[in-house]
């Protein structure tokens, strides 16, 4: 599965770094990636095209931070070495972070 579609690329241009700062759960989600216990919500791009900004969890609660696009594409998750998947039900900039997290019963700790 292709993680970064043309729609996601366009949305990244519309949401440069810090453009959603202070919005909290009202920030618009560009993409949701998941696999195993890992989940990431991409909220913004940065000046470096390989670095994205959002919230992610390894199963212990969500934290804001940056993530490498190339690492997301290469990541293989235990126990079977499967790649991340893109949540196709999350269209770029159509839902807020709060709406997405409610849908999947996820929350900040």
Distance CA 55, CA 52 (A): 10
Q: Which two tokens stand for residue 48?
A: 């470096």
Does the structure show a pLDDT above 90 at 20? yes
CA 21 to centroid of chain Cα atoms: 15
Q: What would the two tokens of residue 59 be?
A: 């199963």
Q: Which helix (H) or strand (E) holds 6?
A: helix 6-14
Longest dimension (CA), the chain: 38
Q: pLDDT tens digits for 44-92?
A: 999 999 999 999 998 888 999 999 999 999 999 887 889 999 999 999 9
DSSP state of 106: -
pLDDT at residue number 63: 94
Per-residue model confidence (pLDDT) at position 1? 83
Say how far apart CA 53 and CA 16 lie, in whole Å.
Answer: 9
Which pLDDT score, from 0 to 100, does residue 36 have? 86
Residue 109 has pLDDT above 80, yes or no: no
C-alpha span between 70 and 106 (Å, rounded): 25
What is the reported pTM? 0.94
Question: Which residue ranges make up each domain of the chain?
Answer: 6-103
Region of residue 20 (phi > 0: left; psi between -120 and 50: alpha; otherwise: beta): alpha
Q: How confident is the model at residue 29 (pLDDT cuts 50, 70, 90)?
A: very high
């Amino acid at each position: 599965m292709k993680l970064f579609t043309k729609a996601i690329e366009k949305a990244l241009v519309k949401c440069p770094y810090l453009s959603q700062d202070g919005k909290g759960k009202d920030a618009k989600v560009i993409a949701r990636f998941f696999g195993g216990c890992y989940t990431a919500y991409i909220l913004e791009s940065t000046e470096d095209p390989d670095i994205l900004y959002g919230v992610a969890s390894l199963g212990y609660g969500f934290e804001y931070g940056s993530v490498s696009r190339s690492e997301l594409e290469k990541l293989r998750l235990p126990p079977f070495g499967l790649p991340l998947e893109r949540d196709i039900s999350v269209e770029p900039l159509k839902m807020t972070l709060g709406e997405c997290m409610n849908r999947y019963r996820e929350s900040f700790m």
